[in-house]
């Protein structure tokens, strides 16, 4: 089985090199290679990446058209169609594009980056106009806007613009799909008056093109006259709103897809090849796979002195296990409450790096392992996917470990592949029995804890009744009552009983929740001389989520901001409603402090559970928990930091 996979990797069946006259954006291409390496199926993330690049989108349209010749593009969901393509086809497209780009890198990276931003802007605007006009093919409208700029991605674009446009038009004309997509380029330079009776797709895409062709210099308060004519009856105010939302969406996409040099594309291609080779092998058991991974990390990455900690199915402890005939390390870790890198790798399902640079922030056991190996740090890589079966610890220099920090997805995927044999099996009777016993113990503890909590809640109810609804502390009593209920739910959730209901999902009023948390933290920030400035957007839509998790996210960020802000400073908390480039709606939460900022050397590791910028023995676990909780709610977290403060941005789906 290994030989066919390797052959298909190095000899992509399609498309041949002479069919790749267009260049991809290096940042999007690098992310796509990282996403595909070792993957057994094509996920939605791949579809989104193909949709963010004109050259890649064209390749995907060709592949989709070959499978569905004569189909109406407007009736297709592009991302879903990409996800249905065979993984070998998608991987071949990405590999061929990367190989061609390495052979002939873009002549002007600056021009490519500018063209890519304009393409995204036009695509966003085209889709937004289509949604307001009730056009059924929203993905087709996005692609039409994107393809307005396909000529900019032609290899000869700088030499002959007209030849590049004809080349792009010919490529779109060859698509075996029913669509007016080629006409967008065919009539791109026609006067707007001549296009008023054109097909809706052409009018909307070219309206978007006229509005965004000078992006970002165009003043959003002044809709382009051609846009008003071609997108009628959409009004000026709607066009300005779309333009403003578009600017924020493009900034987000540009941040996710930073420009890469040719050397970085080559490294991503190499990593993908390595993952494909690992995925093609079939070790007899997980132990053999872990030995193979450890040998690979030592020989290729400079990460040696491997220790494998297997997760005991009976109690969940991480216990040392013999690796490749070496003696069993005398190590046992209970993950609950542990600050070791192994415990946090198990919890976060992601690699964790510890170095000797910050010994106060690291667990003693990690420091002992590093010093015994005469190394500068260690990396903990979880083995297995959804439910890791263990953790591999490897030691090395700061330089070798920096590769793990810079490419966590690659090393996480290596660990997933090494544990794939165990993932395919089911829990044995001993593990099932152990889980049942643990669930019984936790439920019993929850029952016992409920008794004193119930008494406290009763006394709170009596106090509230005596003081009345208009009492000055009525809100505080309500918050205390809710927090007691939250404690009960957290304890019950520890049972991990599959028969129990899932997270408690409810409609959460984000503004009200933040106001409650500001009241709860009032004594700490008032006594410190810090001020909290709230800027809630009125009429913010409620979001359906686990309210307890949302509280924990905001509370962690708020406490961190208060701790970082000096006396007399201000912590700013803002909320707003956003729409991204795919017209998905989000609620944005910004928490900004007035502290000294995050040092540049720690900025790339700020969400690591063993990194901290606080000093004084702080473990630095809060932000890793915030990230995990945010992702569990389907959201994302980013930050910006400078010498006068740090701002964290939370984006949560609004429906």
> Over the stretch 9-47, which tens digit does the pLDDT of each residue have?
333 444 444 456 888 998 899 889 888 888 878 878 888
Task: Determine what percent of the chain is predicted with pLDDT higher than 70.
Answer: 79
Q: Do 9 and 137 reside in the same domain of the chain?
A: yes
Q: Is pLDDT at 433 greater than 50 in this prediction?
A: no
Question: How confident is the model over 99-111, as a mean pLDDT?
Answer: 78
Q: How does residue 335 score in pLDDT terms, banded at 50, 70 and 90?
A: confident
Residue 266 covered by a domain? no
Q: pLDDT, tens digit, for every residue of 217-261? A: 766 667 889 988 999 888 888 888 888 888 888 888 888 877 777
Question: How confident is the model over 416-422, as a mean pLDDT?
Answer: 74
Q: Is pLDDT at 423 greater than 60 in this prediction?
A: no
Q: Do 40 and 127 reside in the same domain of the chain?
A: yes
Asked whether 575 and 589 are in contact (CB, 8 A), the reply is: yes
The pLDDT, as a whole number, for residue 428 is 40
**Which DSSP helix (H) or strand (E) runs through 185?**
helix 181-186
Lowest mean pLDDT among 143-152, 521-530, 587-596, 622-631: 521-530
Asked whether 261 and 26 are in contact (CB, 8 A), the reply is: yes
Lowest mean pLDDT among 92-96, 98-102, 471-475, 582-586: 471-475
Q: How does residue 314 score in pLDDT terms, banded at 50, 70 and 90?
A: confident
622: CATH: 3.30.565.10
Query: Which of these, 300, 291, 285, lies nearest to 325 by C-alpha position?
Result: 291
Query: Which of these, 16, 54, 50, lies nearest to 36 by C-alpha position?
Result: 50
Q: Do 116 and 94 reside in the same domain of the chain?
A: yes
C-alpha to C-alpha distance for 21 and 150, rounded to whole angstroms: 11
Q: Is pLDDT at 137 greater than 90 in this prediction?
A: yes
Residue 276 covered by a domain? no
C-alpha to C-alpha distance for 540 and 544, rounded to whole angstroms: 13
Q: Is pLDDT at 89 greater than 60 in this prediction?
A: yes
Residue 314 covered by a domain? yes
Lowest mean pLDDT among 305-314, 457-466, 557-566: 457-466
The pLDDT, as a whole number, for residue 200 is 95
Per the document, the length of the chain is: 655
Asked whether 621 and 609 are in contact (CB, 8 A), the reply is: yes
Q: Do 516 and 582 reside in the same domain of the chain?
A: yes
The pLDDT, as a whole number, for residue 391 is 93
Q: Do 443 and 518 reside in the same domain of the chain?
A: no
Q: Do 375 and 464 reside in the same domain of the chain?
A: no
Asked whether 346 and 318 are in contact (CB, 8 A), the reply is: yes
Residues spanned by the domain of 416: 283-424
Q: Which two tokens stand for residue 96?
A: 């061929």
The pLDDT, as a whole number, for residue 627 is 85
Strands 585-592 vs 543-546: parallel, antiparallel or unpaired: unpaired
Residue 268 covered by a domain? no
The pLDDT, as a whole number, for residue 497 is 44
Q: Which two tokens stand for residue 1?
A: 């089985």
Higher-pLDDT residue of 640 and 387 is 640
Q: Which two tokens stand for residue 213?
A: 């062709």
Residues with Cβ within 8 Å of 347's Cβ and at least 6 positions away in sequence, in order, are: 335, 609, 628
Q: Which two tokens stand for residue 78?
A: 């592009």
As a whole number of angstroms, the longest Cα–Cα distance in the chain is: 83
Residue 398 covered by a domain? yes
Q: Is pLDDT at 169 greater than 90 in this prediction?
A: yes
The pLDDT, as a whole number, for residue 609 is 56
447: CATH: 1.10.287
Give the residue ranges of DSSP H helices in 257-407.
262-280, 286-301, 341-348, 364-372, 398-406
Question: How confident is the model over 143-149, as a mean pLDDT?
Answer: 96
Determine the Cα angle at 596 with ends 595 and 597, to 5°: 95
Q: In sequence order, what E strands does 95-250 have? A: none
Is residue 575 left, alpha or beta, with left meaning phi > 0 and alpha meaning psi from -120 to 50?
beta
Task: Determine what percent of the chain is predicted with pLDDT higher than 90.
Answer: 29
What DSSP character marks residue 74? Answer: G
Residue 384 covered by a domain? yes
Asked whether 429 and 394 are in contact (CB, 8 A), the reply is: no
Q: Is pLDDT at 576 greater than 90 in this prediction?
A: yes
Of 169-173, 316-320, 577-581, 621-625, give the range with the top mean pLDDT.
169-173
Q: How does residue 616 score in pLDDT terms, banded at 50, 70 and 90?
A: very low
C-alpha torsion angle, residues 433, 437, 442, 448 (rounded to 10): 150
Q: Is pLDDT at 179 greater than 90 in this prediction?
A: yes
Number of structural domains in the chain: 4
Query: Which of these, 270, 258, 62, 81, lies nearest to 171 by C-alpha position?
Result: 62
Question: How confident is the model over 623-637, as a mean pLDDT?
Answer: 84
Is residue 331 left, alpha or beta, with left meaning phi > 0 and alpha meaning psi from -120 to 50?
beta
Residue 535's φ and ψ, nearest 5 degrees, are: -130, 70
C-alpha to C-alpha distance for 52 and 118, rounded to whole angstroms: 11
Q: Where does residue 304 rank: exposed (0-12), middle (13-18), buried (19+ CB within 10 A)?
A: middle
Alpha-carbon distances of 234 from 84, 184, 207, 620, 647, rounded to whole Å: 35, 20, 11, 50, 36
What DSSP character marks residue 647? Answer: E
Q: Is pLDDT at 520 greater than 80 in this prediction?
A: no
Q: pLDDT, tens digit, for every residue of 48-68? A: 999 999 999 999 999 999 888
C-alpha to C-alpha distance for 173 and 296, rounded to whole angstroms: 47
Q: Is pLDDT at 189 greater than 90 in this prediction?
A: yes
3-state secondary structure of 615: coil
Q: Do 328 and 359 reside in the same domain of the chain?
A: yes
Q: Do 596 and 655 reside in the same domain of the chain?
A: yes
Q: How does residue 448 score in pLDDT terms, banded at 50, 70 and 90?
A: low
Question: How confident is the model over 294-316, as a mean pLDDT?
Answer: 88
Q: Which two tokens stand for residue 107?
A: 């002549």
Positive or negative, the CA dihedral 17, 23, 29, 30 is: positive
Q: Do 466 and 594 reside in the same domain of the chain?
A: no
Q: Is pLDDT at 487 greater than 80 in this prediction?
A: no
Q: How does residue 178 score in pLDDT terms, banded at 50, 70 and 90?
A: very high
The pLDDT, as a whole number, for residue 326 is 78
Q: How does residue 643 score in pLDDT terms, banded at 50, 70 and 90?
A: confident
Q: Do 291 and 224 reside in the same domain of the chain?
A: no
Pick the last residue of a domain from 363, 390, 424. 424
Q: Which two tokens stand for residue 319?
A: 């216990």
The pLDDT, as a whole number, for residue 533 is 93
C-alpha to C-alpha distance for 37 and 32, rounded to whole angstroms: 9
Q: Is pLDDT at 568 greater than 80 in this prediction?
A: yes
Lowest mean pLDDT among 154-158, 316-320, 328-332: 154-158
113: CATH: 1.10.3210.10
3-state secondary structure of 52: coil
Q: pLDDT, tens digit, for every residue of 341-371? A: 998 888 888 899 998 887 777 889 999 999 9
Residue 263 covered by a domain? no
Q: Do 51 and 68 reside in the same domain of the chain?
A: yes
Partners of 396 in beta bridges: 377
Q: Is pLDDT at 534 greater than 90 in this prediction?
A: yes
C-alpha to C-alpha distance for 115 and 23, rounded to whole angstroms: 11
Strands 531-535 vs 570-579: parallel, antiparallel or unpaired: parallel
Query: Which of these, 425, 105, 30, lies nearest to 257 by C-alpha position?
Result: 30
The pLDDT, as a whole number, for residue 325 is 76
C-alpha to C-alpha distance for 70 and 64, rounded to whole angstroms: 11
Average pLDDT score over the chain: 80
Q: Is pLDDT at 303 greater than 80 in this prediction?
A: yes
Pick the last residue of a domain from 502, 529, 551. 502
What DSSP character marks residue 2? Answer: H
Q: Which two tokens stand for residue 346?
A: 């198990």
Residue 397 covered by a domain? yes
Neighbours of 564 (CB within 10 A): 20
Query: Which of these, 139, 359, 121, lies nearest to 250 by C-alpha position?
Result: 121
Query: Which of these, 645, 637, 640, lies nearest to 563 by C-alpha position?
Result: 645
Query: Which of these, 478, 493, 580, lies nearest to 250 by C-alpha position?
Result: 580
Residues with Cβ within 8 Å of 160's Cβ and at least 6 positions away in sequence, in order, are: none
Query: Which of these, 270, 297, 300, lies nearest to 308 by C-alpha position?
Result: 297
Q: Do 567 and 458 reside in the same domain of the chain?
A: no
Strands 332-333 vs 318-321: parallel, antiparallel or unpaired: antiparallel
Q: Which two tokens stand for residue 651?
A: 């984006």
Question: How confident is the model over 114-131, as a mean pLDDT?
Answer: 93
**Which DSSP helix (H) or strand (E) runs through 485?**
helix 474-493
Pick the last residue of a domain from 366, 390, 424. 424
**Which DSSP helix (H) or strand (E) runs through 488?**
helix 474-493
End-to-end CA distance of the chain: 44
Lowest mean pLDDT among 119-128, 476-485, 487-496, 526-535: 487-496
Question: How confident is the model over 632-649, as a mean pLDDT?
Answer: 88
Q: Is pLDDT at 619 greater than 60 in this prediction?
A: no
349: CATH: 3.30.450.40
Q: Which two tokens stand for residue 33?
A: 């290679």
């Amino acid at each position: 089985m290994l030989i066919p996979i390797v052959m298909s990797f190095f000899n992509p069946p399609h498309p041949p090199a002479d069919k790749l006259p267009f260049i991809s954006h290096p940042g999007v291409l690098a992310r796509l290679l990282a996403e595909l390496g070792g993957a057994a199926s094509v996920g939605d993330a791949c579809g989104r990446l193909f949709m963010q690049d004109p050259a890649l989108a064209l390749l995907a349209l060709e592949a989709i058209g070959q499978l569905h010749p004569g189909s109406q593009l407007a009736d297709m969901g592009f991302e879903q169609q990409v996800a249905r393509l065979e993984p070998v086809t998608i991987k071949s497209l990405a590999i061929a594009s990367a190989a061609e780009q390495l052979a002939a890198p873009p002549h002007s990276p600056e021009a490519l980056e500018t063209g890519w931003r304009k393409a995204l802007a036009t695509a966003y605007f085209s889709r937004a106009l289509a949604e307001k006009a009730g056009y059924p093919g929203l993905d087709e409208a996005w692609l039409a806007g994107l393809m307005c700029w396909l000529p900019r991605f032609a290899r000869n674009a700088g030499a002959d613009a007209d030849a590049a446009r004809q080349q792009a038009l010919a490529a779109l004309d060859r698509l075996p799909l029913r669509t007016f997509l080629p006409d967008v380029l065919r009539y791109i330079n026609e006067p707007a008056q001549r296009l008023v009776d054109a097909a809706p797709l052409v009018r909307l895409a070219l309206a978007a093109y006229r509005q965004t062709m000078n992006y970002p210099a165009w003043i959003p308060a002044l809709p382009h006259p051609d846009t008003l004519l071609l997108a009628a009856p959409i009004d000026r105010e709607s066009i300005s709103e779309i333009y403003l939302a578009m600017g924020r969406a493009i900034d987000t996409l540009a941040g996710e897809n930073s420009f890469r040099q040719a050397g970085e594309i080559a490294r991503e291609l190499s990593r993908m090849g390595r993952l494909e080779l690992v995925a093609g092998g079939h070790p007899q058991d997980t132990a053999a796979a872990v030995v193979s991974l450890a040998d690979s990390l030592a020989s290729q990455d400079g990460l040696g002195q491997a220790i494998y900690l297997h997760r005991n199915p009976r109690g969940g402890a991480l216990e040392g296990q013999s690796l490749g005939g070496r003696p069993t390390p005398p190590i046992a870790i209970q993950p609950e409450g542990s600050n070791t890198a192994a415990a946090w790798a198990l919890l976060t399902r992601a690699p964790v790096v510890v170095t000797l640079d910050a010994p106060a922030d690291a667990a003693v056991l990690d420091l002992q392992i590093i010093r015994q190996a005469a190394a500068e740090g260690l990396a903990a890589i979880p083995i297995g996917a959804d439910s890791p079966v263990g953790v591999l610890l490897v030691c090395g220099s700061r330089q070798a470990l920096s590769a793990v920090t810079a490419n966590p997805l690659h090393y996480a995927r290596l660990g997933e592949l090494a544990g794939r044999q165990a993932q395919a099996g089911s829990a044995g009777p001993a593990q099932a029995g152990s889980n049942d016993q643990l669930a019984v113990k936790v439920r019993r503890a929850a029952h016992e804890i409920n008794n004193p909590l119930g008494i406290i809640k009763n006394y709170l109810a009596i106090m509230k009744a005596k003081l009345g609804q208009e009492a000055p502390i009525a809100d505080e009593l309500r918050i205390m009552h809710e927090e007691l209920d939250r404690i009960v739910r957290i304890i019950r959730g520890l049972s991990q009983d599959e028969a129990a209901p899932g997270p408690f999902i409810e409609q959460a009023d984000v503004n009200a929740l933040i106001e409650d948390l500001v009241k709860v933290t009032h004594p700490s920030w008032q006594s410190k001389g810090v001020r909290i400035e709230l800027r809630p957007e009125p009429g913010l839509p409620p979001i359906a989520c686990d309210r307890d998790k949302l509280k924990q996210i905001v509370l962690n960020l708020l406490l961190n901001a208060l701790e970082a802000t000096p006396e007399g400073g201000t912590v700013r908390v803002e909320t707003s409603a956003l729409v991204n480039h795919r017209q998905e709606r989000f609620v944005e939460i910004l928490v900004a402090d007035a502290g000294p900022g995050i040092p540049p050397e720690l900025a790339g590791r700020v969400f690591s559970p063993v990194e901290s910028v606080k000093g004084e023995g702080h473990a630095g676990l809060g932000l890793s928990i915030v990230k995990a909780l945010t992702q569990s709610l389907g959201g994302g977290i980013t930050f910006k930091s400078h010498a006068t403060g740090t701002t964290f941005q939370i984006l949560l789906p609004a429906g």
